[in-house]
Amino acid sequence: MIKYTTLNTDDSSVTQAAGVISFTVIAEGLDNPKGLTFGPDGCLYIAEAGTGGNGASVPSPSGQGNLSYGTSGAITKIEHGKQERVLTGLPSLAFADGTGAAGPHDIQFDALGKAYVLIGYAANPALRDATLGDTDLGKLIQVEFHSNSWTCIIDVANYETLHNPDVCEVISNPLAFLIDSDTLIVVDAGANDLLRSHLDGSNLQAIAVLPQQTLINPIFPSFNSQNFDRGHVPPPSAYKAPPSEISIQSVPTSIAKGPDGAYYISEFTGFPFPEGKAKIYRVDTDGLTVYADGFTQLIDLVFDPQGNLYVLQHANQSGWKGKFDGSLIKIAPDGTQTTLISGNGLESPAALTIGPDGFIYAINRGGRPGQGQVLKIENTDF
């Protein structure tokens, strides 16, 4: 294990507090890890999206190449400091170099201890069926670790094909989900919506669509800008002459249930990933409202027992700038925002959870094949 200590650094978008944060690397060498949670056995489970494979290919919506199919997705378990893959052979789709991966994106357990895994897709669902054949990409599955097997519960991508709630391009990329008693709530980052069903997958329906936002005089990459993720950034030919006004999609990334019973949704925003424009939305029976804003490329969020909301910025600057520093931000119940970590080893974080010990556990270097880590973050009570 590797332990780091970091002094809080300045982030102009939030209120800064003095203090020292320490974190320990408790897992590494992961292939594009996307989500994590603690199981009823007290062990930490991590969803690895994998590195694709040598199977059939579909074009990436970004226009930067083809995504190839394989079965390199996996679930890794950490028990008493030991790191082991306990479920393998899960669907995965990625560029030839293993980047831009979609596969196992999230894992959760129900009240009976059954494990569910959300499989991403990040492309047109019609191409999945016509080109890749019978795969579980774009679906929520219930898994059995002892037999290395699974059963489909919901076909999220097919719902996008049939209904397309945001009336935009037909794309599905299920990214995160929540089990709320006997209800499943799924975040589809490609479709920009929130879906709900019973735990058995029945009565699937959209309950919220995140709105587009308009950018005036948007800042686009220059032709020679660093390419940080071909899965999200179009080729340079797409932005030689930026328009003075554009509409960008929301791209919801995760969900947490608040102490008030409402759902809270983090927003990544679409290309060109404007700084300070990402929001946290609140969804209740009255609809969708903005809870907090001023963030950049949010990727996950979680509440602690005291009602504090912790949010992860995947990047503190527009991703195409090639800066991988992310942030962990705490939002107190009164709305006060405090940056706990900004950079200093926090690079392209992808997810977080709070452990039984009260510490925060976060995926680090989440979009890098073979380089993903899990951090145990301590001393966050500032």
- All structural domains of the chain, each given as residue ranges with its CATH number in brackets, are 2-378 (2.120.10.30)
Residue 227's pLDDT is 57
Q: Are 119 and 104 a contacting pair, CB within 8 Å?
A: yes
The answer to whether residue 7 scores a pLDDT higher than 60 is: no
Identify the weakest region by mean pLDDT among 10-19, 92-101, 335-344.
Answer: 10-19
Give pLDDT, residue 244: 86
Helix (H/G/I), strand (E/B), else coil: 161: helix
| Residue type for position 256 | A
What does the pLDDT look like over 81-107, one tens digit per residue?
Answer: 999 999 999 999 999 999 999 999 999
- 236 against 209, higher pLDDT: 209
Q: Kindly state the DSSP code that residue 237 receives in the 8-state scheme.
A: G
Rounded (to 5) percent helix, strand, coil in the chain = 5, 50, 45
pLDDT for 58 equals 94
Does the global pTM surpass 0.95? no
- In the block, tokens 């009164």 appear at 334
Rg (CA), the chain: 19
In which residue are the tokens 């974190």 written?
23
- Top-confidence residue, 60 or 34: 34
Of the candidates 115, 82, 122, 81, the residue with the CA atom closest to the CA atom of residue 100: 122
Residue 140 has pLDDT above 90, yes or no: yes
Whether 371 shows a pLDDT value over 60: the answer reads: yes
CB of 117 closer than 8 Å to CB of 47:
yes
For the chain, give the mean pLDDT: 91
Residue 15 confidence (pLDDT) above 60: no
Nearest 5°: the CA angle 292, 365, 13 is: 25
Q: Virtual CA dihedral for 300, 174, 190, 52, nearest 10 degrees?
A: 100
Q: What is the pLDDT of residue 237?
A: 65
Q: Report the pLDDT value the prediction gives residue 183, as an integer from 0 to 100.
A: 98
- pLDDT score, position 222: 73
